[in-house]
Amino acid sequence: MLASERYRTILNILSSRGSATVTELSQILKTSESTIRRDLNTLDGSGKLNKVFGGAVSIKPTEGVAEQAVPTREILMSDEKNSIAKYAAALINDDDFIYIDSGTTTSRMIDFIENTKAIFVTNGIIHAQKLLSKGLNAYIIGGKIKAVTAAVIGSGGIRSIENYNFTKAFMGTNGIDIQAGFTTPDIEEGRIKEKAIEKSYISFVLADHSKFRKVFPITFAPLKKCCIITDRLLCSEFSDKTVIREVIS
């Protein structure tokens, strides 16, 4: 394969996935890792991507307001989401008063919850149904329902959360960036997330590696406000800003 073809393939992969490791690219392109590293150096030097330790991430200064529906997002990074969700569920204790944010990774977290004594509050319609089906003590906040994410948003939801004091919050995000922090496309959903983090003693953001270096219009928290649970960290500089747990070595 010509170098120009490898460059185009690498950029297409990063465009669709957000990030990739040297090993992954080597296997996809059926070429040596040393060749991939040279390619990444060339593309990084020309401003086409950001080379990070062990791989590369796409350059997307802003992702806009478009948002995929739940069924579409559910099939993306499936194995990674399961690993993150399982790790997060193990952090729940008997005396916890938990907030679970809407999102596909937080939804999977419910599948792994074994603690039946904690109390759960959520703004996710799907999440509430799953909590009830497991016989867990669950509450859902009131407000406007956003169809594309099946999430409760709006001023009513914010007022509901204002009355609670959570021990832990498990949050979803669309993007994670050094400067922009945790971001989402929707203003109202961002305000719900912001309030839940404000009312929680400790907050965890559940995000696979493709969420890093992506920026959406609304920041709902700076990095220092939340711990991050991810499958693997491709961008080492994020470790200087907050606590990060990698669940896949």
Residue 70 has what DSSP assignment? H
The burial of 57, by beta-carbon neighbours within 10 Å (0-12 exposed, 13-18 middle, 19 or more buried), is given as buried
Same structural domain for residues 49 and 157?
no
At residue 85, the pLDDT reads 97
Same structural domain for residues 75 and 25?
no
Close Cβ partners of 108 (under 8 Å, ≥ 6 residues apart): 81, 82, 85
Same structural domain for residues 22 and 106?
no
CATH number at residue 40: 1.10.10.10
User: Dihedral sign, CA of 72, 78, 82, 83?
Assistant: negative
What dihedral do alpha carbons 171, 181, 16, 152 form, nearest 10°? 40
Same structural domain for residues 93 and 190?
yes
Same structural domain for residues 42 and 117?
no
Written as tens digits, the pLDDT of the chain (249 aa) is 788 889 999 988 887 777 889 999 999 999 999 999 999 999 988 778 878 888 888 776 565 655 555 554 555 678 899 999 999 999 999 999 999 999 999 999 999 999 999 999 999 999 999 999 999 999 999 999 988 888 999 999 999 999 999 999 999 999 998 889 999 999 999 999 999 999 999 999 999 988 888 889 999 999 999 999 999 987 788 999 999 999 985
pTM above 0.85, yes or no: no
At residue 63, the pLDDT reads 58
- Flag whether 64 is in a domain: no
- Domain hosting 127: range is 70-246
CATH number at residue 202: 3.40.50.1360
- Flag whether 53 is in a domain: yes
- Flag whether 201 is in a domain: yes
Same structural domain for residues 150 and 221?
yes
Same structural domain for residues 185 and 233?
yes
Same structural domain for residues 39 and 80?
no
Q: What are phi and psi of 94, to 5 degrees?
A: -55, -40
* Number of domains forming the structure of the chain: 2
Q: What is the pLDDT of residues 7-65, one digit of tens each?
A: 999 988 887 777 889 999 999 999 999 999 999 999 988 778 878 888 888 776 565 65
Euclidean distance between CA atoms 230 and 80, whole angstroms: 8
Q: Which residue has the tokens 């703004």?
A: 123
Same structural domain for residues 87 and 173?
yes
Same structural domain for residues 26 and 105?
no
- Flag whether 209 is in a domain: yes
Q: How do 49-52 and 55-58 pair as beta strands?
A: antiparallel
Same structural domain for residues 77 and 199?
yes
- The string of DSSP codes covering 68-83 is --HHHHHTTTHHHHHH
Q: Which of 114, 123, 122 is nearest to 88 (CA)?
A: 114
Cβ–Cβ < 8 Å for 152, 143: yes
Q: Residue 97's Cα: distance from chain center in Å? A: 22
- Flag whether 178 is in a domain: yes
Same structural domain for residues 155 and 81?
yes
